[in-house]
């Protein structure tokens, strides 16, 4: 089962939301880097390739005048939906674009049959925590554990 559809895209609040296109790659990596979302141990090129190679994940791109200014990577594991790389260009913030991208991700997950959306935010990122709380997200008592399966 694949996720939701945004093939034609939608325009709302000045932002057109559509599915990722290969020519978006460099602009999204620049957007993620500027927003502090990239870290040395995660390769965004590989993250994009993996997300786009699976039927249970995608990347949604928000554009203004055809230029990518927002993104969210969304997918599901068969049990819950997740999203990552929510980013809005600094010059385009405070216009509702972040909210619009979350709504698009939620719609994609809903169409895929997912009953719940999950995400991770660093404890120290108070502004982003407040943003998600305003959208109805609640903190969980769950501890996230990790183990690297691929070392290079």
The larger pLDDT score, comparing residue 127 to residue 63, is at: 63
pLDDT at 79: 92
pLDDT tens, position by position, 44-81 = 999 999 999 999 999 999 999 999 999 999 999 989 99
2 occurs within a structural domain: no
pLDDT at 42: 85
124 occurs within a structural domain: yes
117 occurs within a structural domain: yes
143 occurs within a structural domain: no
pLDDT at 124: 84
Ordered strands of the 57-64 beta sheet: 10-12, 15-19, 57-64, 67-76, 81-88, 117-118
pLDDT at 40: 86
pLDDT tens, position by position, 11-54 = 555 899 999 999 999 999 999 999 999 988 889 999 999 999 99
Choose among 118, 70, 117: nearest CA to 94. 70
99 occurs within a structural domain: yes
CA distance from start to end of the chain: 31
- Rounded to 10 degrees, the C-alpha dihedral 25/26/28/34 comes to 160
pLDDT at 6: 52
- Total of domains in the chain: 1
CB 102 within 8 A of CB 135: yes
The predicted model gives 115-132 an average pLDDT of 91
pLDDT tens, position by position, 85-101 = 999 999 999 999 999 99
User: DSSP characters for 61-85?
Assistant: EEEETTEEEEEEEEEE-SS-EEEEE
């Amino acid at each position: 089962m694949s996720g939701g559809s945004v093939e034609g895209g939608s325009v709302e609040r000045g932002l057109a939301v559509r599915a990722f296109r290969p020519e978006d790659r460099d602009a999204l990596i620049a957007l993620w880097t500027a927003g502090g979302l990239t870290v040395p141990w995660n390769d965004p090129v590989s993250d994009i390739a993996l997300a786009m190679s699976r039927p249970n994940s995608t990347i949604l791109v928000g554009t203004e005048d055809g230029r990518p200014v927002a993104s969210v990577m969304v997918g599901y594991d068969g049990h819950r939906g997740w999203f990552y790389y929510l980013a809005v260009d600094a010059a385009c913030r405070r216009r509702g674009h972040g909210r619009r991208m979350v709504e698009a991700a939620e719609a994609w997950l809903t169409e895929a049959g997912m009953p719940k959306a999950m995400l991770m935010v660093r404890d120290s990122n108070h502004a982003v925590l407040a943003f998600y709380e305003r959208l109805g997200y609640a903190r969980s008592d769950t501890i996230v554990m990790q183990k690297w399966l691929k070392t290079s």
